[in-house]
Structure 1
Amino acid sequence: MASSHRFSRIRDQPEASCKPRRTLTAARITAGMSAPQWGQVRMKPDLRSLEIFYWVAEFGSFRRAAARLNTSQPAVSQRIAALEADFGTPLIVRGPRKASLTPKGRELREFAERFLRLSDELAMAFAAPNSHSGVIRLGLAETLVHTWLPVFIERAHNLFPNVTLDIEVDVSSHMVPALVDGQVDLAFLIGPVQRPSILDFPLCSYPLAFVARPDLPLGPPDARGLIPREAIARTAVITFPTETMPYQTVRDLLGQGGDVRPRLYSNSSLSSIVRMTLDGIGVSVIPPAVIGPHLEKGELVLLKTDMELPRLSFVAAIQAGPDRALLEALARLAQEVAAEQDLR
């Protein structure tokens, strides 16, 4: 989220006590300069321009910087051009595939990062919570929609009443590139996210289970009271999309030995998976935490098998940028909410 603090703009003006000749000479000198030289800056850059410059430098892309800052690419180009005009030197080399920094651009990047971090820390330390405003683009795994998301939204609104959450539900594998590209500010997803530019905050983990209607014809359990692998493989199995860990785990488990080829249905909508399971289409592999009411009513049951399923571990993830204080505060709030729900 961008800060709106600005540095003061200072322009050279003749003092009231200057003699006319000195004022005229200064005017002639100024008029004769086509552009200021480095070290002869006409004005101090505002924080927004430094922020835009930092993210262009970080991404090496005007397009990705525009997405990260929720602005247009022409606006980013105009800001960079204004900075270069103010400093009187090129800062960015615009290549066909990537923007790179000039020596002075690399020097300015260090200053910009320090300014942004200090401004961010100052705002979080001294500004009232209701002074923070804007839109946070939140990417979210659907599992959390069915668990503690409503509590988090209420807490976030109470803490930062003028901050709006723009929520997009998607699978974790899609959210990672969106986060890296700056299209999402904060993501609650299956982790860890092993990218050097991303910070992870552990949230919670949920076990997976084989789930079915109690009257689904799977045949009798074995002598240990377990549903055989072959019985599950003979029916339809519904779970998360093909690129996800649950799908790949179930595919491998059901494909081990035997002559029965498993029939897997991938689905990106957890609500749809639950509905298909309630309709008796097959066995689903989902977290029991999302179907508590259906289990209590006896509409669905957990199947006991000898196949071990992994847990889904979720993290809050943000860009490791200098202006992350508000995002980090929201990530830690999510940690608190998730921990409270685990204790229930």
Structure 2
Amino acid sequence: MPNWTLKQLESFAWVAKLGSFRGAAERLNTTQPNISVRISQLEATLGVRLFYRDSGSVALTPIGHSLLAHAEKVLLASDEFSQHSIRSDQQAGVLRLGVAELIAQTWLRDYLLDLREVFPNVDVELRVDLTINLREELVSRSLDLCLLNGPISNFNITNIDLGSVPYLWVASPRLALAGSDIATMASHAILTHARNTRHFVELSAHFRDGWEGPIRIVPSSSLAASLQMTLDGLGIAPMSRTLVGKHLESGELVEVPYPWKPSALIFTASYAHTPASFLLRRAAELAGERAARHH
């Protein structure tokens, strides 16, 4: 029988994914020397060299590449075996969750309650941010699971569909808009998302290409702030119906039938599937179930 351990395989997988002994140590809540010892012992047991080490950099050897997939299969089988003997309410630990603000403003509360019901002993560390930042932190493994504008094209990332969110134009009735043509739209401040978002780029291009006069486009990194400014009559904005539905029903906002709208947002629950984790997989599935009920 081989003399390797699951801890050694886990360390091997994380060093390979992060390209760093230090990063693997932080992720596994241990020390860098411990990771080095585990890798050295695994290499001695297998009789092969798994990594090239050069001035702090780490890269898989050809045999390391070929063995990584087998190690991940063993870890996945171990994880699935454990889940058959450990109930969800016995899962413990921390889930580092990143969430786009639109979800945070709509169904995040219900989702967190779902998580607490299924995983009562798992604590959630929450970060609400722009998708561009959440993507980077997920790929670098600073976050475990993200509910964001996806999908993420990365072979290590699994994306679960959370549905699409179309836009509509809204304004405060106090603006008393006389029409919905481009001239009317351009006569008011256009409230939009932050500059480094697809929403802002699309909106800016539309008015730049279709209107020769001056235009005031006011970006904001806070969706809540943009909504409040719209409610206060400080401008008009394309918003999702899920966010402004109650304000339309109350009459605080009215829909502006301007024919062009930014592309609908497509959301995913995205997580790294290697090494395998029942918690991440089930938490992502719960997000899909909650999103389906919300829509």
Question: In structure 1, what residue type is equivalent to 2:190?
Answer: V
The answer for the alignment partner of 1:187 in structure 2 is 146
* 1:323 equivalent among 273, 276, 279: 276
What SS does the corresponding residue of 1:215 show, helix, strand or coil? helix
The answer for the alignment partner of 2:237 in structure 1 is 284
Matches within 5 A, 1:302-321: 302-321=255-274
* 1:126 equivalent among 85, 97, 106: 85
Q: Does 1:197 align with 2:156?
A: yes
Greater Rg by CA: 1
Question: In structure 2, what residue type is equivalent to 1:124?
Answer: Q
Pair 81,332 (structure 1): closer, same or farther in 2 beyond 3 Å: same
The answer for the alignment partner of 1:232 in structure 2 is 185
* 2:106 equivalent among 147, 155, 160: 147
Moved more, 227-236 or 311-320: 227-236
Calculate the aligned-residue CA RMSD, in Å. Answer: 2.5
Question: In structure 2, what residue type is equivalent to 1:331?
Answer: A
Question: In structure 1, what residue type is equivalent to 2:160?
Answer: F
Deviation sequence 1:161-209 (CA, Å, 0-9, x none): 1112211111111111211111111111011212222111101221112
Matches within 5 A, 1:219-298: 220-221=178-179, 227-298=180-251
Deviation sequence 1:117-143 (CA, Å, 0-9, x none): 111111222321122111111110111
Taking the aligned partners of 1:167 and 1:84, their CA distance within structure 2 comes to 38
Q: Does 1:109 align with 2:68?
A: yes
Moved more, 280-289 or 82-91: 82-91
- Please say if residues 132 and 162 of structure 1, whose CA atoms lie closer than 8 Å, have aligned partners that are also in contact: yes
What SS does the corresponding residue of 2:251 show, helix, strand or coil? coil
Pair 124,278 (structure 1): closer, same or farther in 2 beyond 3 Å: same
The answer for the alignment partner of 1:216 in structure 2 is 175
The answer for the alignment partner of 2:97 in structure 1 is 138
Q: Report which of the two has the higher share of helix.
A: 2
The answer for the alignment partner of 2:9 in structure 1 is 50
Pair 74,278 (structure 1): closer, same or farther in 2 beyond 3 Å: farther
Pair 286,114 (structure 1): closer, same or farther in 2 beyond 3 Å: same
Deviation sequence 1:231-270 (CA, Å, 0-9, x none): 2223211111112121112112211233223222221211
Taking the aligned partners of 1:314 and 1:155, their CA distance within structure 2 comes to 19
- Please say if residues 204 and 313 of structure 1, whose CA atoms lie closer than 8 Å, have aligned partners that are also in contact: yes
Q: Does 1:338 align with 2:294?
A: no
Q: Tell me, which stretches of 5 or more residues in structure 1 are unaligned?
A: 1-38, 222-226
Taking the aligned partners of 1:63 and 1:263, their CA distance within structure 2 comes to 48
Taking the aligned partners of 2:175 and 2:191, their CA distance within structure 1 comes to 14
The answer for the alignment partner of 1:301 in structure 2 is 254
The answer for the alignment partner of 1:168 in structure 2 is 127
Question: In structure 2, what residue type is equivalent to 1:297?
Answer: S
Higher relative contact order (CA 8 A, sep 6+): 2
What SS does the corresponding residue of 2:209 show, helix, strand or coil? coil
Q: Tell me, which stretches of 5 or more residues in structure 2 are unaligned?
A: none
Deviation sequence 1:102-131 (CA, Å, 0-9, x none): 455445534421221111111222321122
Pair 269,66 (structure 1): closer, same or farther in 2 beyond 3 Å: farther
Taking the aligned partners of 1:196 and 1:106, their CA distance within structure 2 comes to 15
Give the number of aligned pairs.
295
Taking the aligned partners of 2:80 and 2:18, their CA distance within structure 1 comes to 23
